[in-house]
Structures are given as C-alpha cells and as structure tokens.
Amino acid sequence: MSIARPGARFVARAVALAAAGCAVAGAAAAARAPAGRVVRVERPVATTVAVPAGTFEMGVSDDDAATAYAVCGYLHGESEDALALCAVYRDMLLHMLARDVTLDAFRIDRLEVTVGEYRACVAASGCAIDPLIAGDERHVASDDLPLVNVTWDEAEAFCAWRGGRLPTEAEWERAARGDDGRRWPWGNTDRHDDFNHGQLPPDVMVELRDADDRARGRLYLHADPDDSDGHAYAAPVGSYLWDEGPYGTHDQAGNVAEWVVDEVVLEGYDDLPSVNPVRRGSYGGAVARVVRGGSWRDPPTFALPSLRVAVNLLVLRGDQRHPHIGFRCAYDAVEPAAATAAAAN
C-alpha cells in the first residue's frame, strides 16, 4: 500500500543564524547569506508521521474514568435519559481500562484532513461533494479548516483516495500517547490554553436547565463553545504549536473529534486481541463508530486521548454528519527497501 502523497502545503520556518554557523535545513541558502544576517529558510513538513511497531498501554485510568463519568452527569443533565446515558457510559469506560496493546508500524497524518484537501479529492472525482455543502458555510470558509460534516464512509473514501485508510482506535491512541503512558499528547500536565476545546455551562445555567429538563425530559448532548483558548469553533489545523504529540501529530486533543475505524460496543475492549486490535463491525457507517479526541464543543476532559465521549453511545452513527467531527488518515508502513524500489520505478 502506498504512503500518502507528500504535499508542500504546510511549511515550517527554520531560522538560521549564519554567523553562528548553526546547522539547519537549507544549509546552502544559509551559506550564501552575508555573515551576521538572519536567514529564514522554508522547507516542507511531512504530511504524515511514522509510528514504529511496539507495545503501549492503551486505555483509560480509573481516575480519568471517574472524572469523565462526573463530567457526563454535569453536562448532560438530570433527565431520565441523561442518567441512563451516563450510567451506560461509566460501564463502557470500565471495559476500556488500561491494558498492554502491541501494534505493527504505521504512518498517520500529522494534522486533521482539511477542507482544501477534501476539495482536491472532489475535484478529482474521488470524493462526494456532500460534506462541503451539508452544513453551515462558516465550516468551509477557509481551506485550512478541518473538514467536518463528513460521514464515516466519506472519510474512509477520502483516505482510500489518498492511498490510506482510517486509523484504528488503537493506532489513533498510540499516535497520541506514545509508549510512556502519558495522559495528553504533550505529557501529563493539563494545559487547557494549548488546545481547542469547549466548556461546561455555568452552574446557574445548569440549575435552570435541569429544572426545565426534569419537566421536559430533555437530554443535552454537547457543551458550550469556549474562546478562552483562542477559538470558539474549529481552528485552522495545526494552530496550536505546543500540543505536539510524541511522534509529531497535532490536534489530537480537541479542535475536531475524529472518526476511527472501530464500532462502538458497550463491552469496550473486551474480546479484542492484544495485537493489532480493531472492531471493524460489518455494516459500514450504519452503526455507531468511535470518535476520538474531543472537539471545540466538548469540555476539556473529553479531549483526553484515552477516552470516548459519552454521546458516542447515542448519536454518533457513522452515517451521520456533525459540525465538530472530522478525521485524519493512517497508512500501512512501507519497508524502506520497498519504498526505494517503488520510487525507482
């Protein structure tokens, strides 16, 4: 299987101090600069990152499961449906507790798939146009926004067009957490200013809401937008420099939640193998599919990369569109020798 086609859309700006003789990419350009001048060198950044084969601890901790259950109760209210949802959510998390998982090597997109990348697929007749016209225009206002309002099947089709596939839930979590058991892509510290999330409604609103809920039996599904991190809605991909994961990914905490391969079942990881686990299901997008990483409309806790969100149990069927759900693609690893041979042909 081929690796994603390289793109030069995203560039890093490497600054070379020629007088100091710093070694940087584009050394030839630096060498041509007069001594003492600051030279800015632009080079393309790989659109995918490599994750080596290995074993990691996948799953949620007891403490984070308890916190997520408490957040579920606060967020979704006190209606009968909400209480039932959170009870089932707690049970599912208890079937997702930490365990050792071994994966083959793979590659994964460094960033969420963008509107511009998806437009290119539509223009090449590789993808359906529906995600670009299905929702509010603000979600497609810029090519560097993450694509949302995309179904699981459409996400799969895009990844196939690009020579890849959706990541499995295990691959997605390993890319976000590495091998050292970290809670967040950047480490163990809660840093809510460094990723795009939503917020829980204030207590007074919850009290008013819950009184109304009890009368109406209403279930609240999402939290409120929060611009304290710089963005109330989805941010252009890669906007947060300090959220980088152990292999170089961005936005695995927040921004838009991301479809992965696995079907949602209440039994969590039960009955899955410890080597390359995946629950593919058999009905494509017509069943509940896991989304990972939280989003601009979820409270920060739900961005923990070991979690699923509670509404995954109710409304996230793979054939539905949501303005906070996008995706990134994964690719089977190619042996260096095979890649070299392919490039020579």
Interaction site with Ca ion (CB under 5 A): 196, 226, 229, 231, 251, 255, 293, 296
Decide whether 162 or 328 has the Cβ nearer to Ca ion.
Answer: 328
Give the three-class secondary structure for 269. Answer: coil
* Whole-angstrom distance, CA of residue 243 vs CA of residue 240: 6
Least distance from C-beta 62 to Ca ion, angstroms?
A: 25
Decide whether 293 or 299 has the Cβ nearer to Ca ion.
Answer: 293
Least distance from C-beta 251 to Ca ion, angstroms?
A: 4
Q: Which of 121, 48, 31, 15 has the alpha carbon at shortest distance from 329?
A: 48
Least distance from C-beta 57 to Ca ion, angstroms?
A: 21
Decide whether 86 or 291 has the Cβ nearer to Ca ion.
Answer: 291
Q: Other C-beta atoms within 10 Å of 240: how many?
A: 22
Decide whether 171 or 251 has the Cβ nearer to Ca ion.
Answer: 251
Helices assigned H by DSSP within the chain: 27-32, 62-76, 80-94, 115-123, 130-133, 152-161, 169-177, 203-216, 336-344
Ramachandran bin of 114, using left for φ above 0, alpha for ψ from -120 to 50, beta for the remaining angles:
beta
Least distance from C-beta 295 to Ca ion, angstroms?
A: 7
> What are the residues facing 187 on neighbouring strands?
184
Amino acid type, 205: M
Decide whether 79 or 249 has the Cβ nearer to Ca ion.
Answer: 249
Decide whether 86 or 253 has the Cβ nearer to Ca ion.
Answer: 253
For 111, list phi and psi in degrees, rounded to 5. Answer: -130, 165
Least distance from C-beta 16 to Ca ion, angstroms?
A: 32
**CA 146 to chain CA mean position, Å:** 10
**CA 261 to chain CA mean position, Å:** 13
Least distance from C-beta 77 to Ca ion, angstroms?
A: 22
